[in-house]
Amino acid sequence: MMITKMALPRRTFLRGAGAALALPLLDAMAPAASALANTAAPRRLGYVYIPMGMNPVPWTPSETGRLTTLSPTLSPLLPNLENVTVVTNLEINDAHISGNHASANSAFLTCVRPKRTEGSDYVNGTSVDQIAALEVGRDTPLPSLELGTDLIAQVGNCDNGFACAYMNSLSWASPTAPNPTEADPRIVFERLFGKGGTPEQRKAQLHRDRSILDWVLDDMSRLQSQLGAGDRNKVAEYLDTVREVERRIERAEASAAASPLSDLTRPTSVPDVWEDHVKLMFDLQVLALRADLTRVVTFQMAREASTRTYPQIGVPEPHHPTSHHLDNPEKLAQLAKINQYHVSLFAYMVDQLAATDDGDGSLLDHTTYMLGSGLGNPNVHDHRNLPIVVASGAGSRIAGGRHVQYDELTPMANLHLTLLDDVGVHLDDFADSTGRTGEIVEPLSL
C-alpha cells in the first residue's frame, strides 16, 4: 500500500468536457493516519425481480439449515454457495387480490395492497428500497437506480383494472409516486458518467469521440502520476471495464442502425439478444456500485405477464401461458428451465460482485442482493411460498450457505426489515411485518 500525507477524497472524479467519471475505492483514498487499517467500504442493497413465480420442486433445496449443495434450479449459484441464503414459505398477504400480476410486481417491495385504478390516481406504498435510499443513498450522486428490460408503453389498464404503473415500477418514492424504470443502457450509462450539455449535445459529442474516456484523458494522466502501482492497476482495470460496457452499447446501436427492420418499441442501444441486454444492465449496476455512484438498486429482469419466449433453452412457448401449467408435467419442466435460466443470469452478476475488489474485500462482501418474485405458484396466481434468494458476503450479517424454511407462512415484510438492518437502516416495523427473519442471521449450531 502506498502511504501518503494526503489522501484522495472518496468522491474523486476524472473530469472532462461533458463527463465526470467516478473512481472505485483506492488505497490512496484511505486517510494517511489510518492507511494500514482496513478501508471502510459502504454497504449496498439491491433487488432483482423475476416474474411469474416458480416450479417449487426443482427450486426448493432438499436440505434445510446448512446447505452442502443447491437444488437444480438454483445450481448456477453453486460456486457462491457460502454467500447464498434460500428462504422459503414467505408470503405477501396484501397481494391476494384479483389483479394478481399487477399486485405481484407492485407489492414486492411495498407489501401493500395497491388501489385498483386505470388512471393516474394510483396508490401503493413507499417501497423498501426507497426507505434504504433515504439513509444509505444520501451521500451518493444517485440515491437509487431503477432498471429493467421490459416496459409497457401503453397507459391505462394493464391487468384487471390496474394501471400500467403497477406493472412497470418496482420502486415507489411514496404511495403515489412510482419511480420510472429505465431499460435503455445508453441512458443509464450517460446518467452514471455523462455530465453537462443537452442530450443532443452529448449524443453529438459521442459520435465525434466515440468514447467517454476520450473526454477525461488529461485528468486521467494527472491522476495516474499520483498513484502507487497497485492503484494504477485498479484504475486501469476499472477503465477497461467502463470501455468494454461502452463498446457493447455502441455495438447494439450499430446493429440497430444497420437493421432493415426497425423496432419502434426498443431503444437503439438495447442489444438484439435479451440475455445480452440483461448482462449489460447487470454490468452497469456493478459499475455504479463500484464507483459509489449509488448504493441502492432495483432491477426488473423481466415483467409480469411477459410473453417472452426462450428458444435458446428449449422453451419456444411464451412465458406467461407456460406459467399457467395446470400441473402439466411438460409445462412444469419448461417453467423450471425458465427459472433456472433467470437464476443463471443473477449468478452472472453475483460472480462479478465476488470478483471485484472493494476496500478490504470484494464488492459482494459489502453488498446484499435479493432475487425473487411476487408470485409463488403462478398457475393459481398465488402469493405464498415466494421464490426468494439472498446473496451477500463477509461484511453482511446474513449467514450464507443455508436454507431457511419457515413452518408457517411468514410475511415478506419481515425479510425486508432484516435486509434493511443489514445495511444499517433500522425500522420498528414495515407494512404487515410481525418481526424480523432472525433465522437468517443466527449462526447454525454444529
* Within-domain flag for 222: yes
Which of these three, 269, 292, 311, is where a domain ends? Answer: 269
Say if residues 371 and 389 touch (Cβ distance below 8 Å): yes
Residues 309 and 421 both lie in one domain: yes
Which of these three, 230, 247, 269, is where a domain ends? Answer: 269
Residues 174 and 316 both lie in one domain: yes
Q: Please report, rounded to a whole number, the percentage of residues in the chain having pLDDT higher than 70.
A: 87
Q: Give residue-wise pLDDT tens across range 279-306.
A: 999 999 999 999 999 999 999 999 999 9
Q: Please report, rounded to a whole number, the percentage of residues in the chain having pLDDT higher than 90.
A: 68
Query: Which H helix or E strand runs over 417?
Result: helix 412-422
Distance CA 125, CA 112 (A): 6
Task: Give, in degrees to the nearest 5, the angle at Cα 375 between 369 and 378.
Answer: 135
* Within-domain flag for 106: yes
Distance CA 62, CA 414 (A): 24
The whole-number average pLDDT for the span 43-61 is 97
* Within-domain flag for 21: yes
DSSP 240-277: HHHHHHHHHHHHHHHHHHH-SS--TTS-TTS-SSHHHH
Number of domains in the chain: 2
- DSSP H helices in 368-407: none
pLDDT, residue 349, reads 98
Output the nine-digit C-alpha cell for 94.
396484501
Residues 57 and 174 both lie in one domain: yes
pTM (2 d.p.)? 0.91
* Within-domain flag for 275: no
* Within-domain flag for 277: no
Residues 75 and 154 both lie in one domain: yes
Q: What is the largest CA-CA distance in the chain?
A: 69
Lay out the sheet containing 65-66: strands in order across: 65-66, 402-411, 84-91, 388-392, 367-372, 44-49, 296-300, 145-148
Residues 177 and 317 both lie in one domain: yes
CATH code for position 351: 3.40.720
Q: Give residue-wise pLDDT tens across range 127-157.
A: 999 999 999 999 899 999 999 998 766 666 7
* Within-domain flag for 286: no
pLDDT, residue 12, reads 80
Task: Give, in degrees to the nearest 5, the angle at Cα 236 between 297 and 275.
Answer: 45
Grade residue 33 by pLDDT with cuts at 50, 70 and 90: very low
* Within-domain flag for 278: no
Residues 75 and 51 both lie in one domain: yes
Distance CA 237, CA 410 (A): 44
* Within-domain flag for 281: no
pLDDT, residue 207, reads 54
Q: Give residue-wise pLDDT tens across range 170-226.
A: 999 999 999 999 999 999 999 998 754 555 655 555 555 557 787 787 788 888 888
Domain that holds residue 344: 45-183+300-437
Residues 209 and 179 both lie in one domain: no
Residues 89 and 142 both lie in one domain: yes
